[in-house]
Amino acid sequence: MNILICYATTEGQTRKIMRFCADEMLAQGHGVELLPVSEADPIDFARYDAAILAGSVHIGAIQEELCDFASRHHARLNAMPTLFLVVSLAAAGKDGSDHAELDKIAEDFCNAAQWTPGATHHVAGAFRFSEYDFFKTWAMRYIASQYGQKVDPHSDTEYTDWDALSAVLKGWPYTA
C-alpha cells in the first residue's frame, strides 16, 4: 500500500516519531510519503491507500494547521484507513483525568475537522529544552514540577515508548 504520513511539530519530537513510523511502514513493505503539513498541499489523495496524521499538544490543543489540513481533506480521509497519533507529555503519565483531557483534545480536533480516524493513539513526547526559549524553559520546568518530575534543563528527556508505538503500527492498515 502507499501510505501518506503527514504531521505537525513545534519542537521536533513528532517529526522524529513520524520518521520512526515511516521506517516501520517501509519495513512492512509499504510505500511511504512523509510530509510536514506545511508542505503537504496541494496534495493528490489518489496517490495514497491509507494515511497517518500526527500532531502535538501545546497548551491543550493540537496544531491548527493540521486541523485545517484534515478539514480541507476530510472527505478523502474518511474514505480510507486512517490513524491519528497525538503526541503529548500527559500521555507519559498515569493520571486518569489527564488522559481524559487528551481524549477530549483529540475529539475536539476531529469534530472541528469533520474527520473520523480509524483509530486514535496517544504517544508520549519529550521535554526538548534544546529547542525552548527562555520563557518556554521556565514554563516547562514549572509544568514538570507540578507533576513532581525533576528535569534537567540542560538536556532533553524523551518519554516516547518506541516498542508500544511499534505494536500499534504492526499490521496496520488492517485489510480484513
Using CB under 6 A as the binding rule, the residues of this chain from 46 to 75 that contact ligand FMN are 56-60
82 is a contact residue toward ligand FMN (CB under 6 A): no
**Among 110, 126, 165, 169, which residue sits at the site for ligand FMN (rule: CB under 6 A)?**
126
Among positions 140, 165, 169, 173, the unique one binding ligand FMN when judged by CB under 6 A: 140
Please name the residue that has the C-alpha cell 528535569: 151
Q: Does the footprint of ligand FMN cover residue 176 (CB under 6 A)?
A: no
The nearest distance, CB 135 to ligand FMN, in angstroms, is 9
Q: Does residue 118 bind ligand FMN (CB under 6 A)?
A: no
Q: Say how far apart CA 151 and CA 156 lie, in whole Å.
A: 9
- Asked if 120 touches ligand FMN (CB under 6 A), the answer is no
CB of 163 to ligand FMN, least distance (A): 18
Rounded to 5 degrees, φ, ψ at 114 are 60, 35
Shortest Cβ 156–ligand FMN spacing (Å): 10
Q: Does 18 bind ligand FMN (CB under 6 A)?
A: no
Smallest gap from residue 52 Cβ to ligand FMN (A): 14
Distances (CA, A) of 79 to 26, 62, 110, 131, 166: 23, 23, 15, 37, 25
Please pick, from the candidates 21, 25, 37, 87, the single residue that binds ligand FMN as defined by CB under 6 A. 87
Size of the site for ligand FMN (CB under 6 A): 21
11 binds ligand FMN (CB under 6 A): yes
The grid cell for 92 is 507519559
Chain residues binding ligand FMN by CB under 6 A are 9-14, 56-60, 87-90, 125-126, 128, 136, 139-140
